[in-house]
């Protein structure tokens, strides 16, 4: 062992210098670019060992990656520190008391693929461990459930038995047979799958499908000229090895995993530069793309081979990070990788920005933690210990630097919306919408619908229109909640009650037996479903849309011995985190969310037809607070209700009652003053015109006029800008972000103005003028009221003389007292908290948050509007209609001369 480690170290020192010596000298310049240099690898040559530890050249057996790579790397550590290997095995059990038996791929029932990993005690066998491996094995790394039993023992030590789901297999004819692990071998953790440049996935898949698990790792090496399948075992090519019997590392081309390696299991990644991208749409062999429409490619969408709608305008790359040459491992890195370690959340003291004490690279290479950093997707229970360890947007990008100059309320947006909500505005590849396993077509396939494409997904002529993801609230592990984009996939299926284990999905084998008779539908099924009597059950007839059809299928299923058969459905959210775009192509138009019918409450179709109303899969961190709505054409839609998630969006959210009441009050005030004014005019016409005796009085000093008009203009502008913000769809021509900024500027001016004025009045004791004297207040108010109600029409003089130090009549004093001490402060406080959502979120939340503050602010605004109308009207009750306004502009007022005693 030590000697090989020596070799590694020497190799690490020698190889770079060898590379330097071999540096290319000036070459002949031709029109073509210089040919690529031969692939160099830092990895030393090493012996390929079989499971017993013998060199494969000697034994001719299958290679064991654990033993071969284990010569330098601690493969036992790697295999035990990797969720890709474990797949939930360590938490296997009756997990959550549902039909899921683990949080991972091995044990979670995936309604999309439908086959069920049977648990011990289930009366029927669907997938045994071997069956599960044969079906899913090409997306399984090896190790974990592929080598170890649910009880923690090696699979090869289990006694084969047809009754044990770990050591049996469901044959094609429905019989349960024993599975001989000793013969088939088990799949070790296959390092080659991710660490080779060209792992032979097809050969590996073939070996796994055949059940030859022990050959899977060796099959991965096919095509490199190292090994070939022989009649018995494997034929190793001596020429590919050095004279010492070590494999030439350059032949293997060992490397860090690239996007192509991840794509082998996860989904659509397009590496080849100029070749136009093609998509296999809604194909579960590319799971990431099929479930979400995500395509990781650096190519421009307009240069791809996909029949995209509006392709000429889609001149951006599918994913900006792929374009910028980021690899999956740049964000989903190994958790103890010293190059990334300071991003992992640690417990550094508050003052420490960077801790240089990291793992030595050599030690890291010996024991790399294969638990990769992961985010907080909807598949939240997978790899629970790794939740939220991933580098997120904010670890690399500074949002305030890039959004600060054009987005008002930057922090509020960042706290409410995940970056993806705006930076993944649309998915341009089709994704699965619904899979209906309640009915099988004649070929045994369920009805599958694909969103984002007009026509058949596999047909190159179909138009790919893409789709806009739905925004739903995601609860982060730190407790915060953000709106993030999701695709919703709805599945419908039959379930039954297993005698001992509870609810189970009906096995595919049973569903087939119920629906099909050989290669065609059974006669009973045809009789029940064939509505146009043409002898064939077409796709649109296959729907269970009547009680008779349901009963027919139920009967067939019950006849197979299944108890309590019924239909169920679930809606699963799938996170969308890739296919990010630059700001230029993101949602940067305020109107995307801040208007009626915006992205925030835009839902999506769940299924074109739903035999039963599905429930939401709640075993995740997504809040499905919206409504599942069935439309008249039978389709099922999801309609988000952001208000239930305490999301209040200016311009989009509103309480209709508040607006209705406010508008009514405003219109009522308008009508009132118009009526009063009309009556005054008519009365004035009928009266003899006696010129009123007035004398000029210095009523308002400069400061008072200034602060009054500043206040007036601010309030009027605030009301108008507030209305634009509240109803941006009516005022579409006016720039929303500019209006928000103006509103905030005016609000600040208003507050400062009001504060200075308050100080002035308190300091000069002029506040007295605003306070109604309690003694005789009611009588004086009645006198004033009587004046307004009858005296004014008769041309009577004002009951109270207006003096510079006593300018307001009792009703005025009361009104202003209310306005300035109740309405204005409330409006200021609600407004300040709405603005301050980003700075003092606890204070805002304590008072109800935006859903309460917003409508309160709107209601008060309506009341202010009424006040303005009344106030302006009442200024016309002076000696002449415009005298009041003129006085407030110039400062000098023509006051009626009074004989009556002043004061009240």
Partner 1 sequence: MKNRFPRWVFGLLAIGTLVLVPFLYLKPTSTPARQAASHLPIKGAHVDHRDIVKGDFKTGPDVTRACLACHKDAASELMKTTHWTWESRAVNVPWRKEAVTIGKINQINNFCIGAQGNENKCMACHAGYGWEAGKAAQQSKPENVDCLACHAEAAIYNKGLFGNPAPSTDLLAAARSVRATTRENCGKCHFDGGGGNGVKHGDLDESLYFPGRSLDVHMGGKHNMQCSDCHVARKHQILGLMLADNYTIDPAEQVSCEQCHSGKVHQDERIGTHLKAVACQTCHIPAIAREEPTKVAWDWSKAGRKGREDDHYSYLKIKGEFSYEANFAPAYRWFNGNNEYRYLLGDPISRDGPTHINKPAGAIADPNARIFPFKVHTAKQPYDKVNGYLLQPITAGANGYWTNFNWDQAFELAVPVTGLAYSGRYGFTETVMYWASTHMVQSADKALSCDACHSATGKPGRMDWAALGYPGDPIKWGGRKLP
* Site of interaction with partner 1 (CB under 8 A): 23-24, 26-34, 36-37, 255, 258-260, 271, 273, 298-300, 302, 315, 317, 323-327, 405-408, 582, 584, 702, 705-706, 709-710, 713-714, 717, 735, 737-738, 741-742, 744-746, 748-749, 889-890
Rounded Cα distance between 179 and 133, Å, is 12
Outline where DSSP puts E strands in 101-192: 168-170, 176-178
Is 438 in contact with 492 (CB distance < 8 Å)?
yes
Rounded Cα distance between 304 and 290, Å, is 18
* Complex with partner 1: residue 28 or 519, whichever CB lies closer: 28
* Complex with partner 1: residue 303 or 852, whichever CB lies closer: 303
* Complex with partner 1: residue 562 or 746, whichever CB lies closer: 746
- Please choose, from the candidates 199, 115, 153, 93, the residue with its C-alpha nearest in 3D space to the C-alpha of residue 145: 153
Neighbouring CB atoms inside 10 A of 406's CB total 11
* Complex with partner 1: residue 401 or 690, whichever CB lies closer: 401
Taking the complex as a whole, the smallest distance from the CB of residue 825 to partner 1 amounts, in Å, to 22
Rounded Cα distance between 199 and 7, Å, is 25
Rg of the chain over all Cα atoms, to the nearest angstrom: 38
Taking the complex as a whole, the smallest distance from the CB of residue 216 to partner 1 amounts, in Å, to 25
* Complex with partner 1: residue 760 or 788, whichever CB lies closer: 760
The residue assigned the tokens 């952001």 is 642
| Dihedral sign of CA atoms 595, 600, 605, 610 in order | negative
* Complex with partner 1: residue 339 or 660, whichever CB lies closer: 339
DSSP track, 286-341: SHHHHHH---EE-SBGGGSSS-BTTGGG--SBS-HHHHTT--HHHHS-BTT-TTTG
Go through 46-63 and write b for each residue having 16 or more CB atoms within 10 A of its CB, e for each that does not: bbbbbbeebbbbebebbb
Neighbouring CB atoms inside 10 A of 450's CB total 22
* Complex with partner 1: residue 120 or 591, whichever CB lies closer: 591
Is 93 in contact with 121 (CB distance < 8 Å)?
no
Taking the complex as a whole, the smallest distance from the CB of residue 392 to partner 1 amounts, in Å, to 20
Using the 8-state DSSP alphabet, how is residue 823 labeled?
Answer: I
* Complex with partner 1: residue 551 or 889, whichever CB lies closer: 889
Taking the complex as a whole, the smallest distance from the CB of residue 592 to partner 1 amounts, in Å, to 15
- Residue 65 CA: distances (Å) to CA of 68, 71, 829: 5, 10, 67
Taking the complex as a whole, the smallest distance from the CB of residue 650 to partner 1 amounts, in Å, to 15
> Phi and psi dihedrals of 325, rounded to 5?
70, 30
* Complex with partner 1: residue 749 or 829, whichever CB lies closer: 749
- Per the DSSP assignment, residues forming a β-bridge with 174 are none
Taking the complex as a whole, the smallest distance from the CB of residue 252 to partner 1 amounts, in Å, to 16
> Phi and psi dihedrals of 2, rounded to 5?
-65, -40
* Complex with partner 1: residue 110 or 323, whichever CB lies closer: 323
* Complex with partner 1: residue 410 or 814, whichever CB lies closer: 410
* Complex with partner 1: residue 398 or 456, whichever CB lies closer: 398
Taking the complex as a whole, the smallest distance from the CB of residue 120 to partner 1 amounts, in Å, to 44
Taking the complex as a whole, the smallest distance from the CB of residue 262 to partner 1 amounts, in Å, to 12
Helix, strand, coil shares of the chain, percent, nearest 5, are 40, 15, 45
Taking the complex as a whole, the smallest distance from the CB of residue 285 to partner 1 amounts, in Å, to 23
Token pair of 61, please?
């057996």
Q: Where are the alpha helices (DSSP H) in 687-837?
A: 702-726, 736-763, 777-789, 810-818, 824-835
Rounded Cα distance between 133 and 121, Å, is 20
């Amino acid at each position: 062992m030590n000697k090989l480690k020596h070799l590694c170290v020497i190799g690490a020192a020698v190889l770079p210098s060898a590379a330097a010596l071999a540096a290319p000298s000036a070459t002949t310049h031709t029109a073509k670019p210089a040919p690529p240099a031969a692939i160099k690898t830092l990895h030393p040559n090493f012996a390929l060992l079989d499971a017993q530890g013998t060199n494969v050249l000697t034994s001719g057996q299958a290679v064991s990656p654990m033993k071969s790579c284990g010569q330098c790397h601690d493969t036992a550590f790697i295999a035990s520190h990797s969720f890709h290997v474990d797949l939930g095995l360590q938490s296997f059990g009756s997990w959550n008391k549902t039909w899921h038996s683990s949080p991972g791929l091995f044990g979670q029932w995936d309604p999309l693929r439908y086959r069920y990993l049977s648990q011990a005690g289930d009366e029927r066998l669907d997938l045994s461990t071997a069956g599960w491996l044969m079906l899913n094995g090409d997306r399984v790394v090896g190790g974990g459930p592929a080598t170890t039993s649910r009880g923690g023992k090696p699979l090869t030590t289990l006694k084969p038995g047809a009754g044990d789901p770990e050591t049996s297999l469901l044959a094609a004819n429905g019989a349960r047979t024993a599975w001989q692990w000793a013969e088939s071998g088990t799949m070790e953790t296959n390092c080659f799958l991710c660490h080779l440049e060209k792992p032979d996935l097809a050969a590996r898949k073939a070996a796994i499908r055949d059940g030859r698990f022990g050959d899977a790792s060796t099959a991965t090496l096919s095509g490199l000229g190292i090994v070939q399948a022989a009649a018995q075992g494997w034929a190793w090519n001596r020429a590919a090895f050095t004279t010492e019997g070590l494999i030439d590392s350059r032949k293997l081309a060992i490397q860090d995993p690239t996007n192509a390696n991840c794509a082998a299991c996860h989904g659509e990644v397009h590496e080849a530069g100029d070749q136009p991208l093609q998509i296999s749409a809604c194909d579960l062999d590319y799971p990431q793309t099929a479930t979400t429409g995500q395509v990781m490619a650096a190519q421009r969408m307009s240069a791809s081979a996909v029949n995209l709608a509006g392709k000429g305008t889609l001149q951006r790359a599918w994913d900006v990070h792929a374009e910028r040459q980021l690899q999956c491992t740049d964000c989903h890195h190994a958790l103890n990788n010293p190059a990334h370690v300071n991003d992992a959340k640690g417990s550094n003291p508050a003052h420490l920005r960077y801790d240089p004490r990291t793992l030595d690279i050599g030690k890291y290479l010996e024991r790399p933690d294969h638990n990769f950093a992961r985010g907080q997707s909807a598949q939240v229970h997978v790899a629970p210990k790794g939740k939220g360890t991933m580098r997120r947007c904010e670890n690399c990008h500074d949002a305030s630097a890039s959004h600060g100059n054009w987005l008002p309320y930057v922090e509020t947006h960042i706290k409410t919306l995940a970056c993806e909500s705006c930076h993944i505005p649309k998915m341009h590849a089709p994704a699965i919408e619904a899979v209906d396993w309640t009915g099988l077509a004649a070929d045994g396939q369920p009805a599958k619908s694909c969103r984002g494409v007009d026509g058949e997904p596999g047909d190159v002529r179909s138009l790919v229109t893409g789709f806009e993801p739905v925004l739903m609230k995601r609860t982060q592990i730190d407790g915060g909640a953000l709106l993030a984009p999701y695709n919703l996939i709805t599945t419908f299926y039959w379930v039954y009650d297993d005698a001992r284990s509870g609810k189970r999905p009906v096995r595919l084998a049973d569903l087939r037996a119920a629906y099909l008779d050989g290669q065609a539908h059974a006669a009973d099924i045809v009789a029940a479903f064939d509505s146009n009597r043409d002898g064939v059950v077409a796709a649109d007839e296959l729907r269970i849309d009547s009680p008779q059809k349901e009963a027919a299928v139920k009967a067939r299923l019950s006849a197979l011995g299944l108890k309590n058969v019924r239909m169920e459905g679930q809606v699963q959210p799938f996170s969308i985190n890739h296919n990010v775009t630059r700001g230029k192509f993101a949602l940067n138009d305020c109107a995307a969310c801040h208007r009626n019918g915006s992205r925030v409450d835009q839902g999506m179709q769940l299924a074109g037809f739903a035999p039963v109303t599905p429930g939401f899969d709640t075993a995740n961190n997504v809040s499905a607070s919206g409504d599942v709505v069935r439309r008249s054409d039978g389709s099922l839609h999801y309609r988000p209700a952001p208000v239930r998630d305490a999301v209040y969006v200016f311009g989009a959210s509103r309480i209709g009652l508040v607006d209705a009441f406010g508008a009514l009050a405003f219109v009522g005030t308008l009508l009132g003053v118009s009526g009063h004014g009309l009556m005054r005019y008519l009365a004035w016409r009928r009266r003899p015109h006696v010129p009123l005796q007035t004398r000029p009085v210095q009523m308002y000093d400069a400061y008072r006029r200034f602060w009054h008009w500043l206040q007036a203009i601010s309030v009027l502008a605030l009301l108008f800008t507030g209305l634009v913000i509240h109803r941006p769809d009516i005022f579409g021509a006016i720039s929303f972000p500019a209006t928000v900024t103006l509103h905030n500027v005016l609000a600040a001016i208003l507050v400062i103005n009001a504060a200075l004025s308050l100080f002035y009045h308190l300091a000069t004791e002029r506040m007295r003028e605003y306070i109604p004297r309690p003694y005789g207040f009611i009588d004086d108010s009645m006198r004033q009221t009587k004046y307004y109600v009858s005296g004014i029409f008769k041309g009577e003089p004002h009951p109270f003389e207006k003096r510079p130090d006593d300018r307001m009549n009792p009703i005025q004093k009361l009104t202003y007292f209310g306005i300035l001490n109740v309405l204005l402060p409330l409006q200021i406080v609600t407004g300040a908290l709405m603005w301050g959502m980003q700075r003092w979120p606890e204070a805002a939340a304590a008072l109800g948050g935006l859903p309460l503050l917003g409508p309160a602010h709107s209601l008060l605004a309506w009341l202010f509007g009424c006040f303005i109308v009344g106030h302006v009207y009442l200024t016309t009750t002076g000696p002449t209609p415009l005298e009041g306004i003129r006085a407030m502009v110039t400062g000098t007022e023509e006051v009626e001369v009074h004989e009556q005693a002043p004061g009240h």
